[in-house]
Amino acid sequence: MATDPQLDRAAFASDLAGSPLPDVVQTTYDYVPAALAGYAAGVGVVTMLFWGIAPASLMLPWLGVFALMGLARFLVWQAFRRATLQTRADWSRWLLRSNIGTLIAGAFWGFTGWAFYVEGSGLQQTGLIVIVYTFSVVGIPVLSIQPRMYLAFAALSFVPMVVRIAGVGDSYSYQLAGELVLILSFTTILARTYRQALQRAIDLKVQADELLVQLRIEKQAAEAARQEAEVANRAKTQFFTAASHDLRQPLHAMGLFAEALRQRVHEPEVAQLVNSINESVDALEGLFSELLDITRIDNGGVEVHEQHFAVGDILRKLRLNFEPSAFEKGLSLRLRSGERVVFADPLLVERILRNLVSNAIRYTNDGSVLVSCRKRGERILLQVWDTGIGIRESERARIFEEFYQVPNTGVVSPEQRKGLGLGLAIVKRLADLMHAPLSVRSQAGRGTVFTLELPVGKAPRALAQAVPGKGPLGITLEGRLVVIVEDEPAVRGGLEVLIKGWGASIASFDSVAASSTWAQLSDPDIVKPDLLIVDYRLEDGLNGVDAIKALRARFGAAVPAILVTGSTMTGHEMDAQAHNFHLLIKPVVPNKLRAMIAFKLGVKAA
């Protein structure tokens, strides 16, 4: 059956819900072209059979009536195709017009049988009976859904001819009329059976339409729920971004001022208080980082950018960041086989190793932490070993769950239980993003080893050499000029006091414009910065990358730069690779800032 846009619109009108009326009407009018073609063929056969036999006074008016009837049915059909049907009354009116046309057609064929039967002999009469009966049969598919209309059509088209045959008055005519009545009765039974089957099909279609309406409603509800979830996710992301920046700023300034104070006092009690402040800031930084990382991963904000790189590039950063804390606990931090090359996302691999090494140092009280890199076939095994307290077998299945921490035991100190229990959950999700298998082996009281499997990479043309030795615990910046671009007065003041305490000269600005003006007025051969420390968010929509570009345009692209940001959710890593600077996430504890400056300038420990 042809599909009409009218049906799609009307089938879902409120007063037609569950009604077969649109299907009945649509099917009736879809049948009109075939019916008109069949009528024309029937008229043609009758004309051939009775031409020259029936009088012209009968034949010509009969042909004229058929032409008018056919033209009227065609025009009504064309009007239906152009009509817009919205209500039950609309459909009912068009069904009435169709039924009137059907009754007229039945009367036409009834008159044909009555008028022409007596004009011919055996061949003509047999042909006429076959034609009239054929129209009674072919009307079943269209009219059986309206049983009364079918009976009326069949009676109008067939009964007049049966009466005419019986009216001849001989035994043959009576017998033939009786047989035709019997045939018509069987045909009526056939029409009833067909109607029942068709009714079941229509009922199924109506049910399908109802289900389709329900599905559309549920789909709209699901789409609305999805949009609400997306809005909630965006709101959550925006909240965490704003909270990250706004809350990290005072913590960042607090850490800087506390370190500057520690350098100026020598009383043990005051020094202990300052150390406690730094530890608290460090703990808060860890909480911020874990929350923001897990949120960013869940929101699809982490993309995988695979490349070939030497593991040693990451191991050097790990040494700078973790050797001071390992040394403070009396642990040996060993990093081996940095010459191996893997094919993966270096930023994600670094994040995974940072979390694993941080955990290893936290839960190891004596011994060492080893980061090793071994080749097994076409895979590289990146492993973090420790000699810590280990993980009981009953706990290993849950250590990668969010917010899960191993239950308190006598060997786990309050210091080791800091955090939200998100570190290993982040590790697992980042590994899954890279499709890198992650496994753990552990023995309570003996230690733990985490293994990350990565594909073997192709060696770059030139590999940087690892920096031997321990990371700097203190630095001297005598004779160095450090440019600071920071719009937060408290943070800027803290940086100035701290870096001056390390012996450096300071050029400090609160905007990109101010730093650019200073750079343009300076002699680049005399006043050339040794290091740029810039905040990300600055004035008038500008950011730290703009400040770095402006200063390097004046003093050269080789000027080292550190970008400090309060947000981990804006994809700074790509900018860092593109513009050759390093990132520090607020709040920056002095130890990390000191290690990063030493790394950028290549200075030795004081």
The domain spans of the chain are 5-168, 235-301+472-606, 306-471
Confidence (pLDDT) at 455: 92
CA 53, distance to chain mean position in Å, is 78
Confidence (pLDDT) at 16: 60
Phi-psi region of 205 (alpha: psi -120 to 50; beta: other; left: phi over 0): alpha
Confidence (pLDDT) at 579: 83
CA 582, distance to chain mean position in Å, is 32
* Residue 587 CB contacts under 8 Å (≥ 6 apart), including other chains: 248, 251, 252, 254, 255, 281, 284, 285, 288
Confidence (pLDDT) at 391: 80
What are residue 310's DSSP bridge partners?
341
> Going by DSSP bridges, is the β-strand pair 341-344/307-310 parallel, antiparallel, or unpaired?
antiparallel
Q: What CATH topology corresponds to 306-471?
A: Heat Shock Protein 90 (3.30.565)
Residues 83 and 80: their CA atoms lie apart, in Å, by 5
- pTM recorded for the entire structure: 0.43
Confidence of residue 134 (pLDDT cuts 50, 70, 90): confident
Confidence (pLDDT) at 453: 92
Instruction: Compare 442 and 8 and report the one with higher pLDDT.
Output: 442
pLDDT at 257 over 60: yes
Identify the three-state secondary structure at position 293: helix
pLDDT at 281 over 80: no
Contact status, residue 177 vs residue 155, Cβ threshold 8 Å: no
pLDDT, tens only, 425-447:
888 888 888 898 988 888 887 88
pLDDT, tens only, 84-119:
888 888 888 888 988 898 899 888 888 988 888 888
What are residue 509's DSSP bridge partners?
485
* Positive or negative torsion for Cα 257, 263, 265, 268: positive
Any alpha helices (H) in 484-543, and if so which ranges? 489-501, 512-521
Instruction: Compare 188 and 559 and report the one with higher pLDDT.
Output: 559
Instruction: Compare 294 and 36 and report the one with higher pLDDT.
Output: 36
pLDDT at 315 over 70: yes
Confidence of residue 34 (pLDDT cuts 50, 70, 90): confident
Instruction: Compare 531 and 206 and report the one with higher pLDDT.
Output: 531
Confidence of residue 471 (pLDDT cuts 50, 70, 90): very low
- Options 3.30.565.10, 3.40.50.720, 3.40.50.300, 3.40.50.2300; CATH for 235-301+472-606 is 3.40.50.2300
